[in-house]
């Protein structure tokens, strides 16, 4: 009798508990990548999952022509936050008049099981490539200026200690002089 009762309870539990199959998500917000003309830069799309998943990555919009990314990624179960690297590259012959804000949309698709109706889950993310003029070449620094700047950047405590030490040495020299 007890055995039958437990079996009935077990069967009822099976019907009540939803069978969560899979889940995955993303960190909110858009991706912004600053790229100088003739250069490249990277940004990352942070996604996460609860179970191992194969995810197909795709893009739409103008940004699609300027970015590269892995087309498929396998999310490991223990990877809490997975960064998918997006590399944006602007060719040297790109004209700034073509626009400084190239927009697009990224998709991460997790396919469902085959059946009469397959249910897919997908994440959507906006991406913005912000085109900048090429960076000017770095100007060589003045060694003396760097030395002084470096000294003061050591912090107020060290500077005070340094001057304190000089005063101390002068006092000792003064005492010795007086002693003579």
Where do contacts with another protein occur on this chain (CB under 8 A)?
Answer: 18-30, 46, 48, 81, 107, 109, 112-126, 155, 157-158, 160-161, 164-165, 167-168, 171-172, 174-175, 178
Distance (Å, whole) CA 167 – CA 164: 5
Nearest of 131, 124, 108, 110 to residue 29 by alpha carbon: 124
Write the CA distances from 79 to 47, 84, 125, integer angstroms. 9, 12, 20
Is the CB of 144 or the CB of 166 nearer to another protein? 166
DSSP code for 153: T
Is the CB of 28 or the CB of 139 nearer to another protein? 28
What is the closest distance, in whole angstroms, from the C-beta atom of residue 90 to another protein in the complex?
A: 24
What is the closest distance, in whole angstroms, from the C-beta atom of residue 155 to another protein in the complex?
A: 7
What is the closest distance, in whole angstroms, from the C-beta atom of residue 169 to another protein in the complex?
A: 10
Distance (Å, whole) CA 45 – CA 137: 31
């Amino acid at each position: 009798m007890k055995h039958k009762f437990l079996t009935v309870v077990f069967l009822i539990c099976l019907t009540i508990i939803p069978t969560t199959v899979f889940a995955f998500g993303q960190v909110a917000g858009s991706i912004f990548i600053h790229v100088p003309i003739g250069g490249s830069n990277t940004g990352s799309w942070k996604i996460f999952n609860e179970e191992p998943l194969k995810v197909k990555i795709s893009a739409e919009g103008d940004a699609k022509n300027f970015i590269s990314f892995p087309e498929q990624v396998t999310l490991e179960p223990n990877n809490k936050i997975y960064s998918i690297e997006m590399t944006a590259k602007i060719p040297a012959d790109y004209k700034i008049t073509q626009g400084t804000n190239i927009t697009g949309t990224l998709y991460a698709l997790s396919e469902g099981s085959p059946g009469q109706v397959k249910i897919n889950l997908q994440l959507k993310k906006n991406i913005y490539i912000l085109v900048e003029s090429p960076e000017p070449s770095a100007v060589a620094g003045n060694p003396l200026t760097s030395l002084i700047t470096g000294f003061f950047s050591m912090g107020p405590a060290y500077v005070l200690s340094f001057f304190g030490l000089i005063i101390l040495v002068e006092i000792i020299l003064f005492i010795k002089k007086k002693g003579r």
